[in-house]
Amino acid sequence: MAAAGIDPRSGYSAETRTFHSTREPGELPPESLPVTATAYAFSLLSSPLPDRPALVDAATGIAVSYPSFLAAVRSLARGLWCSLGLRPGDVALVVAPSRLDVPVLGLALMSIGAVVSPANPVSTPEEYAHQVRLSKPVVAFAVGEVAAKLPPDLRCVVMGSDEYRRMADGGGGGGGGEVVMPAAVAVKQSDTAAVLYSSGTTGRVKAVAITHRNLIALIALHAENREKVAREAVEAGEEPPPAAVTLVPIPLFHVFGFMMVLRSVSMGETAVLMERFDFLAALRAIERYRVTLLPAAPPLLVAMVKSEEARRRDLSSLLVIGIGGAPLGREVAEQFAAVFPDVEIVQGYGLTESSGAVAATVGPEESKAYGSVGKLASHLQAKIVDPSTGEELGPGQRGELWIFITGYVGDDEATAATVDSEGWLKTGDLCYFNEDGFLYIVDRLKELIKYKGYQVPPAELEHILHSHPEIADAAVIPYPDEEAGELPMAFIVRQPGSNITEAQVMDYVAKHVAPYKKVRRVAFVTAIPKSPAGKILRRELVQQAMSMGASKL
C-alpha cells in the first residue's frame, strides 16, 4: 500500500484523496465465472452438512435442518422455473413477515437468476404501487392478508396456498412434454440478484439493485472475518468461538436482516427468526435458544442496560451484539460493557445501496474503539467531502462520506441527485476517518440542527440523554425559531416511575455540551417512532412538534 502512495495506517492516498481499505482482500471467484449468490453460499457449507438447524422460528420453536433447507430451496427453484416460468432477470416482489419460508424463497429465486425484491408487509397500497413502478416485478409472493393491497394487475401467488405448496414441491419438470429445468442456469455475477428498498426515513423510498457479485463479496467478507477471529483465538491459546446462533429481530426485507440470514446460512450457522421485534420476547428467545449473536440498533442496548428483566434472564450464551442502523455513543457502550462485561459489542455501518457493510469492527481489540463503526470493508473505497465546498478531505476532517455504488432502479432522478458522474454515492452522513483508519459517524447531514449558524448533531445529544438513568429513550429534532433558526428539541420517554422534569432534562444536557448545543425545548411521550431497523423517524416527530404549535410542551 505504501508503494502505491497509500498510508498503510489510515488507508488514505494523498494523491487521489481517497481512503482505501487496510484489510486483506478476501478470496473471490473470478468475475468471469457464472455463479449465483445462492450457489456460492451453499459452496461454503461443510460436507457432511452441519448437524445444527439452519433456521428456527422463535415463537414456535419449529426448526429446519440443513439437509431439509437445501432440499426445500432446490425443490422450490424447480417449481419457480417449471411451473411459474420464471427466468433470469425476472423480478419477484416478496411481501411477508420473517417466517421460515421467506429465506427459502429468496435463495430459490436467486438460484435461478430471478431477482428477489422483499418489501414491508405493513406498507400501504400506494407504497406498493410506487415500489412496483420502480422494480417492475412480473409476480408477487405475498401472505394472504397483504395480497389485496397489491396492484390488481400484478400476478400474485399467496404464500401457504395450494398453488404455492405445489410449486414448493417442485411444480413438475418430469418429462412428457413438461418444462424441464436445466442442470445449471447461466447467471453472470454482474447480474442483479436482489432489489431492496431504502428505508425512506428522509424522503420517498428508492429501489436499489444489488448484484450477485455484491452478495458474494459480502459473504466472503464474513467468512474472512470469522477465520480471522478464529485464528486470533488459537494464537492466544483460546478455543475458537462456536458456530453462531443468531437471533434476527430485524425484518428480512431490510438489508440488515437480509444479509444476516444470508451470512448465517452460508457459514453453516443457525438463524432464529422473529416475525416482529418485541423486547421481552427477544430476551426469552436468547435464553431459550442459547443465542450467541444479536444484531440490533443502539436503542436495544439502552433498553438492556435499564431493564430489570434483562438481569433476571439467563443471557450467558450471548457473546456478541452487532450494532448498526444508527451511531452508538461511547456512554451507552461503556454502560453496557459495565452491566454485560462478557458481551462483545461489534459496531458496523452500512447502507441498502452498499448491500450492507461499509465498515465494521472485527475482533475484541477493534471493538474497544467505542464510537467508531470500524474500518472500511475490503471491497470498498471512500472519500470524505466538504459538503459546502466539495473539497476532498483527509484523516481527522469531518465531511460527507462518499462510496461507490451502481445506482437506483427505475429512478434516474434519484441516481443523479445522489451519485456523481464517476459513480460516487453521496451517503448524506457526516463522518470522518481517524489516523488509524477507523470510521466515525457524526450524524445525518440533513438532520443537523442549525442553531445561530452552529451545527448541532442530534445523535450527540441523544447519546447524552440515553445516559440518564431516568430516561428510557430519547430523540432530538430541530424546532423552528425566528431568532435562532432552529432549536434543539428533545422528545423524552421516562423510565417507569420517573417524574423527571423539562428543567432537569435541559440542565443534564447543559452540563455535558457547549452552550450552543443545549436542549431548549422538551416534550414527554410514551414512545419514540422508529423504522423496523430501529432508525428514529424524525419527520414524524417534527410533524408532532409542529402540531403542538405554541401550546406548552
Give the residue numbers marked as catalytic: 226, 254, 352, 450, 535
CA dist 208 and 407 (Å) reads 7
Strand order in the sheet with 207-211: 156-158, 139-142, 91-95, 115-119, 192-197, 207-211
Nearest-angstrom CA–CA distance, 405 and 59: 37
Q: Looking at the DSSP assignment, which residues form a beta bridge with residue 431?
A: 399, 441
Main-chain phi, psi angles of 353, to 5 degrees: -65, -25
495, three cell numbers? 423510565
Q: At what angle do helices 255-266 and 101-111 cross, to 10 degrees?
A: 80
For residue 543, count other CB atoms closer than 10 A to its CB. 12
> For residues 375 and 224, what is the distance between their CA atoms, to the nearest angstrom?
14
DSSP 173: -
Q: Where are the alpha helices (DSSP H) in 136-272?
A: 144-147, 162-168, 212-235, 255-266
> Is the separation of the CB atoms in 548 and 523 below 8 Å?
yes
Cα–Cα–Cα angle for 182, 214, 376, rounded to 5 degrees: 160
Partners of 294 in the β-ladder: 321
User: What count of other Cβ atoms lies within 10 Å of the Cβ of residue 530?
Assistant: 19
118: number of CA atoms within 13 Å, CB side? Answer: 26
Cis amide leading into 48 (omega within 30):
yes
The residue written with cell numbers 451517503 in the block is: 427
CA 184 to chain centre: 31
Classify 400 as helix, strand or coil. strand
Q: From CA 449, how far away is CA 541, in angstroms rounded? A: 14
Partners of 159 in the β-ladder: none
Q: Which amino acid is at 98?
A: S
Q: What is the DSSP string of 118-161?
A: EE-TT--HHHHHHHHHHH--SEEEE-HHHHTTS-TTS-EEETTS
134 is written with which cell numbers?
420502480
Q: Could you give the angle at the alpha carbon of 400 between the alpha carbons of 395 and 403, nearest 5°?
A: 85
Q: How far is residue 297's CA from residue 300's CA, in Å, rounded to a whole number?
A: 6
Buried b (16+ CB within 10 A) or exposed e, 486-506: bbbbbbbbbeeebebebeebb
Cell numbers at 499, concatenated: 417524574
